Amino acid sequence: MGRVVALVDDLFFQMKLAETAKQLGVEVKVATNSDALAGLMESGPKLLIVDLNARGQPLQAIKRVRQTNKDIRVVGFLSHVQTQLAAQAQAAGCSEVLPRSSFTQNLAAILSASKD
């Protein structure tokens, strides 16, 4: 079973993530702030999903994760017009930054890649 941690405070995306993960048999734990995220990272997930528009400084959360876990795949998503935020996310340590629409379309494939 794949282990995924997400920093998402948008209830709609939390439900979409949970439902897609359930269908795929992937375990997903959701944090709504960076402190909760730090606790969930202790389980050694294979994938971190970050809503780059989340409240609670998602860029700083990514930087904190990268200090202790250089190898984890980090996928961030945002509005397609936020090109400056996308560049900042990559500089912070995002492996991939996707527009929200692309992230939603490819969510099953993104989650499936975290399976053992």
pLDDT digits (tens, 9 = 90+) for 59-71: 999 999 999 888 9
Residue 72, H or E segment: none
pLDDT digits (tens, 9 = 90+) for 87-102: 999 999 999 999 999 9
**Domain 3-112 is in which class?**
alpha beta
d(Cα 26, Cα 31) in Å, to the nearest integer? 16
Over residues 30-52, the mean pLDDT reads 91
SS3 assignment, position 5: strand
Residue ranges per domain, the chain?
A: 3-112
